[in-house]
């Protein structure tokens, strides 16, 4: 026992030194306990006390990430090299906070949750856990912690998709999501077990991880890394792991769909960046896995499948789901060429993507709640009755297309520039194929995005006239998000 004392003392020092870096996560854990106890004693459909306590805890966690003392401590491994505290993780945490904040507000004002017998209290309980899992995904440098954080988000997402499963379509969406997600998680866990067997360590940041993996037969290493990418690809919903996405996005409550298309996907990119960096040899050595070739092929297929399939969709949520797959392929371009300087286009795109996608899905849900319209053909003439919503929707769709002067254009321009700059140095055929595919699919996206304003403003309604919709607090939020897209498109330096 005495022989273990030095190790125990060292572990305690390591834990204590890492606590300041985990203050936002500790606040979220305490918030979860307080919120779940509050919901037990203050039940009700509105769950006002639960909502405000949850919002207070989330904001306190976000405030800690802004403290100079917290940011100055970043840049090294903590907790036995299982977590990496750096500026990248802080930026991801801030993006996650705004995604969860808007999700909480949308749930609060969603008629679907207000009218449901369960209320929204249980969803508020999940929010601190979800943000905790997202934060850990952005910091994880251990295979075990990567898996635990991914599963934390997956289980919470399964619960949200099936939370108000009152119809057979919603039940089917929840079952597909659970079954497909469980299969991908099993394959990812098997790949991680192979990597641990090959390297003898769970920490991907340790030098011996890459050194020992490079000594293994290339086929064995490629299989192990490929299986891990399956689990990450499920979160990103890139081709060929995208089949669940349109059905789940259509069947889930629109508010939940807005979260699924942003939070877990952005966290998946955070893990992908960490994972590719850990397996990229320093000093120009031979790579153990051809990330550029594999991710380039996946990005090209995702852009082609997502954008071309979206052209044939009539359901607005399915169209946005395939659009999201196309954007995943575009964002993968930034991951492929990323470096310390190249991460700025990636982070800029992810932030703008989160705003655009959440606002688009929430507008789709609001239009459905007010008019019952779920297909694009049913949008005919709605521009006369929902002027604010439809104008904002058109602006957001223009930004999703990547046209100036909106922030979506600047996001795509930065990614294009980084890929083009890298191509001018390497003359890689993969990068040239990515540039051509991205340009073609951007033009293709015009054909399905502009079906919305075409029906809303240029065609007459075939049904009964819709009563004009009065603006409310949710309308103000949508207007703010739309204004941010215009502001950051004209002045992108404000986010720097």
Q: What is the pLDDT of residue 445?
A: 92
Q: What is the pLDDT of residue 410?
A: 92
CA distance 445 to 170: 28
CA distance 468 to 382: 9
Which of 363, 351, 482, 348 minimizes the C-alpha distance to 415? Answer: 348
17, pLDDT greater than 70: no
Q: What is the pLDDT of residues 400-424, one digit of tens each?
A: 998 888 999 999 999 998 899 888 8
Q: What is the pLDDT of residue 140?
A: 87
CA distance 273 to 286: 19
pLDDT band at residue 73 under the 50/70/90 scheme: low
Q: What is the pLDDT of residue 466?
A: 62
Q: What is the pLDDT of residues 124-134, one digit of tens each?
A: 888 999 999 99
CA distance 358 to 101: 11
- % of residues, the chain, pLDDT over 70: 88
Q: Which long-range contacts (CB under 8 A, 24 or more apart) does 15-21 make?
A: 15/79, 17/78, 18/78, 18/79, 18/83, 18/85, 20/69, 20/70, 20/73, 21/70, 21/73, 21/74, 21/78, 21/83, 21/85
* CB 326 within 8 Å of CB 338: no
On average, the pLDDT of the chain sits at 84
Q: What value, to the nearest 5°, has the Cα angle with vertex 272 and ends 270 and 278?
A: 105
Q: What is the pLDDT of residues 320-371, one digit of tens each?
A: 999 999 999 999 999 988 754 568 889 999 999 999 999 999 898 888 888 8
The residue written with tokens 């606590």 in the block is: 19
User: Can you give the pTM of this predicted structure?
Assistant: 0.91
Three-class DSSP category at 240: coil
319, pLDDT greater than 90: yes
Please, where are the H alpha helices in 75-167?
Answer: 87-108, 111-115, 121-139, 143-161
Q: What is the pLDDT of residue 97?
A: 93
Which of 400, 386, 319, 307 minimizes the C-alpha distance to 354? Answer: 400
């Amino acid at each position: 026992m005495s022989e273990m004392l030095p190790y125990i003392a060292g572990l305690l020092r390591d834990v204590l030194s890492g606590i300041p870096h985990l203050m936002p996560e500790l606040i979220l854990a305490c918030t979860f306990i307080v919120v779940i106890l509050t919901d037990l004693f203050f039940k009700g459909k509105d769950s006002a006390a639960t909502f405000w306590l949850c919002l207070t805890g989330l904001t306190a966690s976000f405030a800690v990430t802004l403290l100079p003392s917290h940011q100055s401590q970043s840049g090294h491994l903590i907790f036995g090299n299982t977590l990496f505290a750096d500026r990248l993780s802080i930026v991801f945490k801030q993006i996650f906070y705004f995604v969860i904040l808007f999700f909480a507000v949308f749930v609060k004002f969603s008629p679907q949750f207000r009218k449901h017998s369960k209320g929204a209290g249980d969803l508020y309980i999940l929010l601190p856990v979800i943000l905790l899992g997202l934060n850990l995904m952005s910091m994880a440098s251990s295979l075990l912690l990567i898996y635990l954080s991914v599963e934390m988000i997956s289980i919470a997402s399964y619960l949200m998709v099936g939370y108000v499963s009152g119809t057979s379509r919603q039940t089917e969406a929840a079952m597909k999501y659970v079954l497909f997600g469980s299969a991908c998680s099993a394959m990812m866990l098997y790949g991680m077990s192979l990597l641990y067997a090959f390297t003898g360590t769970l920490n991907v940041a340790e030098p011996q991880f890459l050194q020992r993996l490079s000594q293994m037969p290339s086929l064995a290493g490629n299989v192990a890394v490929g299986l891990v990418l399956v689990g990450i690809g499920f979160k990103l919903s890139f081709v060929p792991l995208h089949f669940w996405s349109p059905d789940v996005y259509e069947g889930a409550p629109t508010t939940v769909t807005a979260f699924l298309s942003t939070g877990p996907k952005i966290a998946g990119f955070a893990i992908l960046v960490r994972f590719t960096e850990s397996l990229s040899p320093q000093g120009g050595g031979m790579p153990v896995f051809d990330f550029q070739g594999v991710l380039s092929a996946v990005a090209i297929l995702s852009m082609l499948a997502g954008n071309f399939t979206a052209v044939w969709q009539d359901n607005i949520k399915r169209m946005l789901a395939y659009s999201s797959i196309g954007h995943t392929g575009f964002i993968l371009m930034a991951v492929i060429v990323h470096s310390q300087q190249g991460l700025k286009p990636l982070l800029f795109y992810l932030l703008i993507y989160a705003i655009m996608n959440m606002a688009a899905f929430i507008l789709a849900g609001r239009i459905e709640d007010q008019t019952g319209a779920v297909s694009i053909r049913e949008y005919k003439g709605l521009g006369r009755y929902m002027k604010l919503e439809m104008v904002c929707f058109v602006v957001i769709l223009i930004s999703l297309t990547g046209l100036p002067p909106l922030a979506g254009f600047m996001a795509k321009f930065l990614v294009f520039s980084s890929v083009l700059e890298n191509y001018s140095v390497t003359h890689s055929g993969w990068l040239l194929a990515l540039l051509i595919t991205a340009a073609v699919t951007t033009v293709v996206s015009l054909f399905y995005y502009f079906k919305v304003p075409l029906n809303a403003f240029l065609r007459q309604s075939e049904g009964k006239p819709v009563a004009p919709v009065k603006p409310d607090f949710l309308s103000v939020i949508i207007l703010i998000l739309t204004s941010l897209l215009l502001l950051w498109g004209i002045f992108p330096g404000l986010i720097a």
